[in-house]
Amino acid sequence: MKLYSNIIHTWRDVKGWSRHFTPLSLGEGRGGEAVWGKALLSLFLLLFFSLATHAQIRGVVIDAEKGDTILYPSATYRGHHIAVSGNAMGEYTIERHNGWQLTFTAVGYKPKTITINASTPEVLNVKLKPDTRQLAEVVVKSKRAHYSRKNNPAVELMKRVIAAKKRTNLENHDYLSYTKYQKLTMAINDITPADIDSGFIGKHKWLLDQVETSPYNGKLILPLTVDETVTQHLFRKDPKNEKDIVMGQSSSGVNQLIQTGDIMTVAMKDVFTDVDIYDDQVRLLQYPFTSPIGKDAIAFYRFYIEDTVYVDHDLCYHLQFIPNNQQDFGFRGELYILADSSLHVKRCNLTIPKRSDVNFVENLQIQQEYRKLPNGEWALSVDDMIVEMKVAKFLSKVLITRTTRLSDYDFQPLAKQLFKGKAKIKREADSQMRDEAFWNKYRTVELTKSESSMSAFVHRIEQIKGFKYIIFGAKAFIENFVETGDENHPSKFDFGPVNTLITKNFIDGYRARVSGQTTANLNKHWFFQGYYAHGFHSKKNYYDAMLTYSLNKKDYLPREFPKRTISFESTYDIMSPSDKFMQTDKDNVFTAFKWAKVDKMMFYNRQQLKFEYEQEWGLKTTFGLKTEENEAAGALFFNPLNSGFSYTAPKNTPVGDLIHNGKIRTTELSLQFQLAPGRTYINTKQRRLPINLDAPVFTLGHTMGLKNVLGGDYKYNFTEAGIYKRFWMNSWGKIDINVKAGAQWNRVPYPLLIMPAANLSYIIEDETFNLINNMEFLNDRYASLDASWDLNGKIFNRIPLLKKLKWREYIGVKALWGKLTDKNNPYLEQNANSSVLMQFPEGCYVMDPHKPYVELIAGVHNIFKLLHVEYVHRCNYNELPTAHKNGIRLMMRLTF
């Protein structure tokens, strides 16, 4: 009908034109009318065939089971080299060709073919059924059930594509620059009519102003946060260097309600990072995925040629691919490869197989498009990702949308000063204060109505009755701190950590502690933190006070990267020697439960001056001066060998009875270097946590004891070095290796010897031994190995029940080699009259240098998607009275 209407309107226009101009152009009489009639007939036929040729079919491709629109479907006239790709709403438009067969495909769905004829409607909506079978069973080109790489044209083509990567790499140029705009949005996903009528939204009707239809999955969503970033990428070939200059960044949403809300944005950027299929490994969900055009792609994926089609007037090979094992962390998708000498990717659609072992992700779709540059080369221009997540049944579904556009590619020489410094990421001074004119210039994807009104949305949330109490509790639970400010007066002082209010130990019995810290809202450079504690059984009072000056302004706390601080700390408290190996606070209530009796303790009175300076490229330098007095308590004592006094604490010493057995005082200088290139962090109110552990970490430190300086009793030198490295094993998970070694070079009393990093808690602590007791071994030389292998379900996925539970296996080994040289061995007769060496307390032993301590670990994680449990077995030194041969340890651990 529409075609007929267009023809009628055209005919009327032509008649009007003829009535007005015929006498001038065609002459008079019957001859002129004949000429006019022929011309008019020719014009009519021309218009008819032109309109018929450009008639189109359009519609939406839908999931036949769920009714959801399917992202980025393809519509193809097989054998005629015509294909189109639909958008994120499942919408497509293609030319009508009656008599041809039109095939609809989408990654993860069975194809559907429809014969186009005169009765085929102009609007053709298509339903596709999900495909849970192997791809080899449903593709048109491959009829074999058994996949073979030998003499496979798809494999041969992909080998050529992989080989062509080097010559099409834009970094073959001496210089390269481009601009990247990225928008990252988080929203509540799949809001139902019931949510609107009777749920939280129904009770707060104004929230309907924030509800909108997602342009990516067609569902009703409620946007919660939006983050925009504009970055200029710079590359220089010789000497090789690259920089990312952050020109502008803007973040708004519910993360503003929590001071450490930037954790959410930083974590999302790390988890849903940029995807470059031209890399051999693609990092996504904090895992490496084998790229479909990576060097290992032929062995990891199965490839199938679908057809040769035109995509935006470029002839392309259309391929589909799937992992050999769909439980592995790999992509399923389709590639459109240019059918010319470049063999460059024109377009790709990626998803994760529905049978994969990825947690929380219900649907993940990535679409990338490459465009031709004026110099004839191809470059990435569109990189869109949508992720539909569900953490738990009782929580709302979440939609993460990452929209990226790359433009302004240039190969002109770049000024040398742009590459100054070793930091790979730099921020322009006013990057977070850009005006609307800046965003209008660089925003290549417009904000939706809800994204634009995010600040007003957050303000209205704050007005909800009782909301301040809800956010108060949420902050205390999430941040472990209680703020003292409000929405109009940001907190200048925070109380916490909350989990240290009540705990217990052998000397104090139960113990109460009140802690707090100032924030940058009080001063951007000066910070104070400390605590007061009281032991109820010991009747002792303790304190800690630290004043910090930050050389660079901070947003909230002085530990934010890069850390450049000078601090002075004074502390009086009690501890067990093994407490220094805990990465969490020693008063953490969850680590107060011990698997062994911890009765060897000491009071310490410590004053410390420390300077920490971090380079943005990953080097951290720490210089410290510390003076400390230690007083033995409980089953610990300080008895020099020449004193002639030998003491052993009674076995049934009542908890809290203080046994003072001497004091020692030390003064020391320390210098430590740590190199962690590429490591990124998130800042909590209690500590800073590394979020990216892929980069190696190197540490080197030396501590020098100063005798007769500030009361120091001993001269000594202690050197320690360490290396950490993570190795990804493709579908076999990851292996973490941590190696350390150290030496105490001088004759020293046993408190200054090297004791193992013992963890006496049931909670797993990284880089510690699980079944070594407090001070069980004392050495002046040591080397340790901590190796763990997370197989990521590679074996459990082949066991039906465990596969359904999605449990994942974990194995590890921890080993300690130690030696006590003769000069520090108190049991040798030659040292009997030493005024430096001291009698070892009960439960402290000398290791056999030919017999390293070993413990083995077999663990299961991803239990209920959050629990990690380990069984630990101690292999040797089990004849010692302190030995515990077996143990169970656990921790909370969320992974994809």
User: For 697-747, what is each residue's pLDDT tens digit?
Assistant: 999 999 999 999 999 999 999 999 999 999 988 778 899 999 999 999 999
User: For 781-822, what is each residue's pLDDT tens digit?
Assistant: 999 999 999 988 888 888 888 888 888 999 999 999 999 999
Identify the pLDDT of residue 527.
Answer: 97
763 compared with 689, residue with greater pLDDT: 763
In which band, very low, low, confident or very high, does the pLDDT at 653 lie, cut at 50, 70 and 90?
very low
Among 248-252, 426-430, 616-620, 654-658, which is the least confidently predicted range?
654-658
pTM greater than 0.85 (yes/no): no
Identify the pLDDT of residue 486.
Answer: 74
Say how far apart CA 649 and CA 634 lie, in whole Å.
Answer: 8
In which band, very low, low, confident or very high, does the pLDDT at 646 lie, cut at 50, 70 and 90?
low
Token pair of 323, please?
Answer: 């992992």
Tell whether the model's pLDDT for residue 466 goes beyond 80: no
> Are the CB atoms for 397 and 362 separated by under 8 Å?
yes
Among 568-572, 658-662, 808-812, 848-852, which is the least confidently predicted range?
658-662
In which band, very low, low, confident or very high, does the pLDDT at 590 lie, cut at 50, 70 and 90?
confident
Say how far apart CA 226 and CA 206 lie, in whole Å.
Answer: 20
The pLDDT of 660-685, averaged and rounded, is 86
Tell whether the model's pLDDT for residue 16 goes beyond 80: no
**Three-state SS at 756:** coil
What share of the chain has pLDDT > 90, as a percent?
Answer: 47
Identify the pLDDT of residue 10.
Answer: 35
Tell whether the model's pLDDT for residue 144 goes beyond 70: no
Among 127-131, 536-540, 840-844, which is the least confidently predicted range?
127-131
- Dihedral of CA atoms 257, 263, 264, 269 in degrees, nearest 10, equals 140
Of the spans 15-29, 134-148, 346-360, 650-664, which averages the highest pLDDT?
A: 346-360
Tell whether the model's pLDDT for residue 626 goes beyond 50: yes
Identify the pLDDT of residue 36.
Answer: 40
Identify the pLDDT of residue 394.
Answer: 62
Classify residue 597 by its DSSP letter: -
User: For 513-554, what is each residue's pLDDT tens digit?
Assistant: 999 999 999 999 999 999 999 999 999 999 999 999 999 999
Identify the pLDDT of residue 43.
Answer: 41
31 compared with 526, residue with greater pLDDT: 526
Cβ neighbours of residue 41 under 8 Å, at least 6 residues apart?
Answer: none
Q: Is the dihedral of CA 477, 506, 892, 227 positive or negative?
A: positive
For helices 29-53 and 2-25, what crossing angle results, to 10°? Answer: 150
* One-character DSSP codes across 382-442: EEEEEEEE-S-TTS-EEEEEEEEEEEEEE-S---GGGG-SS-SEEE-TTTTS--HHHHHHH
Helix (H) or strand (E) holding 874: strand 867-874
The pLDDT of 600-614, averaged and rounded, is 96
User: For 38-88, what is each residue's pLDDT tens digit?
Assistant: 444 444 444 444 444 458 898 999 888 877 788 778 888 887 778 887 877
CATH 2.40.50.140 fits 56-131, yes or no: no
Tell whether the model's pLDDT for residue 878 goes beyond 80: yes
Q: For all residues of the chain together, what is the average pLDDT?
A: 84
Query: Would you state the CATH architecture of domain 473-892?
Result: Beta Barrel (2.40)
Domain boundaries, given as residue ranges, for the chain: 2-53, 56-131, 176-273+379-461, 473-892
Identify the pLDDT of residue 132.
Answer: 54
Tell whether the model's pLDDT for residue 588 goes beyond 60: yes
Residue tagged 């000078």 (tokens): 566
Q: Which residues pair with 436 in a beta bridge?
A: none
In which band, very low, low, confident or very high, does the pLDDT at 661 lie, cut at 50, 70 and 90?
low
Exposure on the CB side of residue 678, measured as CA atoms within 13 A: 9
Tell whether the model's pLDDT for residue 779 goes beyond 90: yes
What share of the chain has pLDDT > 70, as a percent?
Answer: 88
Other C-beta atoms closer than 10 Å to the C-beta of 181 total 20
Identify the pLDDT of residue 11.
Answer: 34
Tell whether the model's pLDDT for residue 24 goes beyond 70: no
The pLDDT of 157-185, averaged and rounded, is 93
